A and B are shown apart, each in its own frame.
Chain A
Amino acid sequence: MTPLLEVGGLVVDFGGPRAHRAVDGVDLALAAHERLAIVGESGSGKSQLLLACVGLLAANGRASGSVRFGGRELLRPADAAPKVRGSGIGFVFQDAGGSLTPHRRIGEQLAEVALTRPGLSAADARAESLAMLERVRLPDPVSQFAKYPHELSGGMRQRVALALALVARPRILFADEPTTAIDVTVQAEVMTLIADLCEGLGMALLLVTHDLGVVAALADRVAVMYAGRVVEEGSVASLLSRPSHPYTAGLLAAVPALPDAGAGELATIAGQPPEPGTRFPGCRFEPRCTQAGEPCRSVDPPLDAMGGARVACHFPLHRGAAS
């Protein structure tokens, strides 16, 4: 089966005084109805990968390689990506306020996006927008329709941003840190909402997050990025319980859990993430790795298939982890 979204050899370069390569050769595939999470820390390239797919890189950014959506190439010509936004790929970001126009009413903004679907009348677009506000569980959608973004709370704005991403009925939802700016007791509600919407609307999900708790709750499959590369990929169930890459294992151990009794130290990964533009003769994680041996300093490990999973490590913690 052809995947719905297929990323091949994707490279993202930024020019200017702080020129660097943010994404350095990434291959990923997303099937219809599948939920894939890309997890990594700041500077790992995860957000730039997402933006490159939909043609939203900053002006000094350039993507090469290939991104195919339903078989169509999105990186060339330049207007291919904008065309799939809305009814092909919807997206929601961490800063929900940022995707809403401050001086226009919620209803107008939704209807405008709904109208990008072919064959919809203005009345249809309004009905569709109201229905979507109801789907994102915004209380009293009719009265919210006439409001401006600043009249809503942060949690409500995030719901409106979701409605805006979905009102043109995309086949994939791109979500970049959708719960990061929200309070922890409300995060679960937004996560259930995203899960229910994907299910109800038959959408695939490409989720970018630094939070392994969100990955555990929402995704079927996960790709871990470090310094512009995917270092491990596999099913959520196997990767989170039996990580093969030492970086994945370190990230998992660093998730702060409630102490059982007494206070132990928090687990950490030594050192710092590499600065943008750093050159690596061998493995990118080698300077921080506790498992590193001789080949790690000089030979860049390829992302090898192991069972149903992939890992880029000379000394994986587990071999042949079935996904």
Chain B
Amino acid sequence: MSGGLRIRDMAVTYRSGAGAAPVEAVQGVSFALADGEILGLVGESGCGKSTIARAILGLVPLARGTVEWQGRRIDTLPKERFRALRKELQLVFQDPNACLDPRMTIAESVAEPLRALMPEFDTGARAARARERLAEVGLTDALADRYPHQLSGGQLQRAVIARALAVDPRLVVCDEPLSALDVSIQGQIANLIGRIRRERGLACLFISHNLAIVARLSERVLVMYRGRIVESAPRDTLVASPLHPYTRLLVDSVPEADPLHARRMLERRRRASARRRDLGSPGCPFVARCPFAVDRCRTLLPPLRDFSRGHLVACHRADEWRDGLPAER
């Protein structure tokens, strides 16, 4: 595959001040995203998923590894050359207020990227394009002339999506686009992202801590834990037969509004929380919380291996449960 996005052995390091030990937020992550594909990336706070989004967009430097777009390395591009790529790669993130200027109307904000990236558009063409994109995300002309503080959270997130679409990008990275929204609105925005992606044939990296939403939208899902990918599989495989104990914990933790189910889950977790701790071992990042850990898990980092067509797992013991993880002890 020469098109699409390809990440190889990406590592990103943060320094939190002079003398402090550097923190490896992303530790050797590789994956590919084909043109027009939607790929889910799920993990909990601090696992490095947002850092990956920022590194793809050139907002943080790589410590190691490469980012390729359409077969061309882009992580080494100087700033001004990267700017031209902004027409193709766009980012939608959690907080709409961070990307909408409070002093601009919604339509002005949506037209703004065109001014910078598409100089061939004059004022009238920019305004027309902005209204087209706003209509595409379901915002009326009346709302287009309002200011951000006059819109609800769901309407603001629609505006942010319209702004990302203004330049007709080929890839949109969505970083937690739903987590600031109410439950009744989350579904509206998730369905909107799904529909726009299908209609436009956009490639999309959809990042969230919520496995249920990621699985609903994505064809393939990557699971991250502490800076590494621990499992990667087609959506249905991942949900029905996860091979990594962390993925199963995520699957089990999806909240359900069913008291019997919820209480059974608490009972299992009550037993599980007795185990715990020993951080900073050279072995598997999940070892401290894993119900199946054995000696080699503490000393040896498990590599991400391909188990069956396209199902990758980083677990020493995955061979033992090819037909499904055993019940926890």
Residues of A participating in the B interface, judged by any CB pair closer than 8 Å: 41-42, 137, 139, 154, 183-185, 187-189, 191-192, 195-196, 210-217, 236-237, 240-241, 250-252, 254-259, 261-269, 272-273, 275
Q: How far is the CA of A261 from the CA of B235 in the complex (A)?
A: 9
When the two chains form their complex, are residues B259 and A216 in contact, meaning their CB atoms are under 8 A apart?
yes
Min Cβ gap A222→B in Å is: 10
Interface assignment of B269: CB less than 8 Å from any CB of chain A: yes
When the two chains form their complex, are residues A216 and B262 in contact, meaning their CB atoms are under 8 A apart?
yes
A216-B256, A254-B184 known; A183 vs B45 contact (CB < 8 Å): yes
When the two chains form their complex, are residues B212 and A258 in contact, meaning their CB atoms are under 8 A apart?
yes
Chain B: CB-nearest residue to A40: B182
The 9 closest A-B pairs by CB, nearest first: A213-B255, A266-B187, A268-B187, A212-B257, A216-B262, A188-B269, A217-B262, A269-B184, A256-B212
Q: How far is the CA of A214 from the CA of B266 in the complex (A)?
A: 10
Interface assignment of B191: CB less than 8 Å from any CB of chain A: yes
When the two chains form their complex, are residues B184 and A192 in contact, meaning their CB atoms are under 8 A apart?
no
Chain B: CB-nearest residue to A181: B45
Q: Is the contact region of chain B dominated by helix, strand, or loop, or is it mixed?
A: helix
**Given A42, A250, A252, A268, which contacts B257 in the complex, CB threshold below 8 Å?**
A252
Number of interface residues of B (CB under 8 A): 50
Question: In the complex, what residues of A have CB within 8 A of residue B258's CB?
Answer: 216, 240-241
When the two chains form their complex, are residues B250 and A184 in contact, meaning their CB atoms are under 8 A apart?
yes
Interface residue ranges of B220-264 to A (CB < 8 Å) = 235-236, 239-240, 246, 249-251, 253-259, 261-263
Chain A: CB-nearest residue to B43: A183
Interface assignment of B215: CB less than 8 Å from any CB of chain A: yes
Q: How far is the CA of A266 from the CA of B217 in the complex (A)?
A: 9
When the two chains form their complex, are residues B183 and A254 in contact, meaning their CB atoms are under 8 A apart?
yes
When the two chains form their complex, are residues A266 and B191 in contact, meaning their CB atoms are under 8 A apart?
yes
Residues of B participating in the A interface, judged by any CB pair closer than 8 Å: 44-45, 152-155, 182-188, 190-191, 194, 209-213, 215-217, 235-236, 239-240, 246, 249-251, 253-259, 261-263, 265-266, 269-270, 273, 276-277, 289
Chain A: CB-nearest residue to B238: A258
Q: How far is the CA of A41 from the CA of B184 in the complex (A)?
A: 8
When the two chains form their complex, are residues A192 and B266 in contact, meaning their CB atoms are under 8 A apart?
yes
Chain A: CB-nearest residue to B289: A185
When the two chains form their complex, are residues A215 and B257 in contact, meaning their CB atoms are under 8 A apart?
yes
When the two chains form their complex, are residues A195 and B266 in contact, meaning their CB atoms are under 8 A apart?
yes
When the two chains form their complex, are residues A268 and B191 in contact, meaning their CB atoms are under 8 A apart?
yes
Q: How far is the CA of A183 from the CA of B210 in the complex (A)?
A: 10
Question: In the complex, what residues of A have CB within 8 A of residue B182's CB?
Answer: 41-42, 210, 273
Given contacts A213-B256, A217-B266, A263-B217, 19 further A-B contacts (CB under 8 A): A41-B183, A41-B184, A185-B289, A187-B253, A188-B265, A210-B183, A211-B255, A214-B255, A216-B261, A217-B263, A217-B265, A252-B257, A255-B183, A255-B257, A256-B216, A258-B251, A259-B239, A263-B194, A272-B152
Min Cβ gap B236→A in Å is: 5
Question: In the complex, what residues of A have CB within 8 A of residue B185's CB?
Answer: 268-269, 272
Q: How far is the CA of A53 from the CA of B292 in the complex (A)?
A: 47
Question: In the complex, what residues of B have CB within 8 A of residue A189's CB?
Answer: 269, 273
**Given A139, A216, A259, which contacts B216 in the complex, CB threshold below 8 Å?**
A259
When the two chains form their complex, are residues A268 and B184 in contact, meaning their CB atoms are under 8 A apart?
yes
Question: In the complex, what residues of B have CB within 8 A of residue A187's CB?
Answer: 253, 255
Question: In the complex, what residues of B have CB within 8 A of residue A257's CB?
Answer: 212, 254, 256
Chain B: CB-nearest residue to A214: B255
Chain A: CB-nearest residue to B259: A216
Question: In the complex, what residues of B have CB within 8 A of residue A273's CB?
Answer: 152, 182, 184
Q: How far is the CA of A43 from the CA of B115 in the complex (A)?
A: 37
Q: How far is the CA of A80 from the CA of B60 in the complex (A)?
A: 53
Min Cβ gap B68→A in Å is: 28
Min Cβ gap B263→A in Å is: 6
Q: How far is the CA of A236 from the CA of B257 in the complex (A)?
A: 10
Question: In the complex, what residues of B have CB within 8 A of residue A184's CB?
Answer: 44, 209-211, 250, 253-255
When the two chains form their complex, are residues A183 and B213 in contact, meaning their CB atoms are under 8 A apart?
no
A41-B184, A185-B250 known; A236 vs B259 contact (CB < 8 Å): yes
Q: How far is the CA of A267 from the CA of B74 in the complex (A)?
A: 39
Question: In the complex, what residues of A have CB within 8 A of residue B183's CB?
Answer: 41, 210-211, 251, 254-255
When the two chains form their complex, are residues A272 and B155 in contact, meaning their CB atoms are under 8 A apart?
yes
When the two chains form their complex, are residues A258 and B211 in contact, meaning their CB atoms are under 8 A apart?
yes
Question: In the complex, what residues of A have CB within 8 A of residue B212's CB?
Answer: 256-259
20 contacting pairs across A/B (C-beta < 8 A): A184-B211, A184-B250, A184-B254, A185-B249, A189-B273, A191-B266, A211-B255, A213-B262, A216-B258, A252-B257, A258-B212, A258-B251, A259-B212, A261-B240, A263-B235, A264-B216, A265-B191, A266-B213, A268-B187, A268-B188
Question: In the complex, what residues of B have CB within 8 A of residue A268's CB?
Answer: 184-188, 191
Min Cβ gap B153→A in Å is: 8
Q: How far is the CA of A213 from the CA of B185 in the complex (A)?
A: 17
